[in-house]
Amino acid sequence: MDLYESLAAYVPYNEQESSDRRLMLRYGEIFDDLLTRQNEMAHFTASAWVVNAERTRAVMAYHNLYQSWAWLGGHADGESDLRAVAEREVREESGLERLKPLTDGIFSLEILGVAAHRKHGRHVSAHLHLNVTYLFEADERSPIRPKPDENRAVRWFDNAELLAASSEPEMRVVYQKLLEKTAALGGD
């Protein structure tokens, strides 16, 4: 199933996801370059919500750009298999190698505003990330390590402490939703 078929088939969890899904599908009708950063207004990203087997902890990285603890993920950069992008980003950003997908497809959708910033010495204008999130399980005893050019630390957070770790209020809303959706699945 291609990305847009997956988006069309996805059953939104709440009003935010319903609205964001509608807009992602609409943007796909308008733009043909949403899988690359060449579209400076909006482009697809993939995130991974990585939890332990009991669903009581999640992996977060201290993101250099945002100066906050955040989920793992990155830009599609031309790749239409966003689950593969999410898996690759987990491996690159955390060192976790063994990931078990916990859902057959998309776990969550978010359109995220990105403030203007400097990256690699150049200005990046404010834009939107059309984010598709996937749910994975990893063994919390597996070694983890940061990716210094993107994050300075990686660690497991108990669900109860996770929201307080993020200094981005708009992301706490997303993480709360992910915690709720994960809890609804139950543990192993």
Return the number of other C-beta atoms located less than 10 Å from residue 79's C-beta: 16
User: Which residue bears the tokens 């307080």?
Assistant: 164
Mean pLDDT by 10 residues, the chain (188 residues): 94 98 97 95 98 97 93 96 97 97 96 90 94 98 95 96 94 97 82
Task: Tell me, rounded to whole angstroms, the distance of Cα 158 from its chain centroid.
Answer: 18
- E strand segments, 89-171: 100-101, 108-114, 117-119, 122-124, 127-137, 151-158
Burial classification of residue 29, based on how many CB atoms lie within 10 Å of its CB (0-12 exposed, 13-18 middle, 19 or more buried): exposed
Give the structural domain span for 172.
3-185
Residue 187, pLDDT score: 62
> Do 154 and 144 contact (CB within 8 A), yes or no?
yes
Burial classification of residue 20, based on how many CB atoms lie within 10 Å of its CB (0-12 exposed, 13-18 middle, 19 or more buried): buried
Please list, in sequence order, all residues whose beta carbon lies within 8 angstroms of the beta carbon of residue 39, skipping any fewer than 6 positions away: 31, 33
Residue 30, pLDDT score: 96
pTM over 0.75: yes
Determine which helix (DSSP H) or strand (DSSP E) holds 48, and give its type and residue range. Answer: strand 42-51
Domain with residue 177: its CATH number is 3.90.79.10
Residue 170, pLDDT score: 94
If one counts the domains in the chain, the total is 1
